[in-house]
Amino acid sequence: MKYIKGFYMALGMFVGIPLPFHFWDEKFAPLMVASIPLVGVVIGALWWLAGSALIALGLPIMLTAAALTVAPFFIAGFIHLDGYMDTSDALLSCRPLEEKIRILKDPRVGAFAVVMLGILFMLQLAAMYTIAENGRYLALLISIAVISRCCSALSILVLRHIPQSNYAPVLAQGIELSHKIFISATALAAAAFSFLYAGLSGLIVVSAVVSGYAWAMRAAYKGFDGISGDLLGYSLVIGELCGLIALAVLQDM
């Protein structure tokens, strides 16, 4: 029962779809972190189902691509996109650490956030157009969503949190080895599924997600001397974008 409660808490925080009731208990926070990859299964499955339905309906490719571009952000309640924009604003300001943290927490939208959002949507739309047009390996959208969230969950468990992070006082406490093993096993299962489903192409897409996430997290961690929820969202969005680009490139191979 406690694992179900942890998973339900994770759904309530990381999925924008309304749930029947609200539940929160801090003692289940570590289980919520361990459930983040399972949230990726839910989001990825809905993403894949939406793509399959839109392609089957024969809608114009551009309309289908646009819908699939915004689908993962919409399903997740735009929480990761918000972190992407806030982190872009702060990181690209190249200010001292204290000033970057102030910008990170500032609710106003800056120029860097707008520019980076435009770049993100342009690249993701182009990738989704190619994927929707060819329709190969569409189920790898599930793997992309799962692997990116495995990376985020492991980052929460093993990396230092900045003092201003809302994750530090709650999610980083009570972590057990079994949580890390479960997250790692879920990542391996997603990689195995990708290989069995798409062969080497599946592993390339998974590797692209991990590489993109690691690159983004390295830059964010170095810039803020730690992680926060916004930085996790920033890295997740970039990791998924890299996976989509790899999947698009592989369509014609």
Nearest alpha-carbon partner for 122 in 66, 52, 43, 198: 66
Give the per-residue pLDDT at 167: 60
- What pLDDT, on a 0 to 100 scale, did the predictor assign at position 145? 97
What's the pLDDT score for residue 29? 76
Domain residue extents for the chain: 33-252
**Per-residue confidence band for 206, with pLDDT thresholds at 50, 70 and 90:** very high
Query: Is residue 168 scored above 60 in pLDDT?
Result: no
Contact predicate 220/151, CB 8 Å = no
Q: What is the pLDDT of residue 174?
A: 63
Coil vs helix vs strand at 206: helix
> Per residue in 62-94, pLDDT tens?
999 999 999 999 999 999 999 999 999 999 988
- 160-184 mean pLDDT: 73
Residue 220: band (very low, low, confident or very high) from pLDDT cuts 50, 70, 90: very high
Q: What is the mean pLDDT of residues 224-242?
A: 94
- Are 220 and 234 in contact by the 8 Å Cβ rule? The answer is yes
What percent of the chain clears pLDDT 70, i.e. is strictly above it? 95
User: What integer is the mean pLDDT of 232-237?
Assistant: 96
Q: With 80 as the cut, is the pLDDT of residue 166 above it?
A: no
pLDDT tens for 94-144 read: 888 888 888 888 888 888 999 999 999 999 999 999 999 998 999 999 999
Three-state DSSP state, 227: strand
Quick check: helix, strand or coil at residue 163? coil
- Cα torsion 38, 42, 45, 47 to 10°: value is -120
CA 235/CA 127 separation, integer angstroms: 18
As a whole number of Å, the end-to-end CA separation of the chain is 46
| DSSP string over 175-203 | --HHHHHHHHHHHHHHHHHHHHHHTHHHH
Q: What backbone phi and psi angles, to 5 degrees, belong to 161?
A: -95, 145
Residue 227 has φ and ψ, to the nearest 5°, of -125, 165
Q: Any idea what DSSP says for residue 135?
A: -
| CA-based nearest residue to 32, from 170, 165, 192 | 170
**How confident is the model over 215-229, as a mean pLDDT?**
92
Write the pLDDT tens digit of every residue in 10-23.
Answer: 888 889 888 777 77
**pLDDT value at position 232?**
94
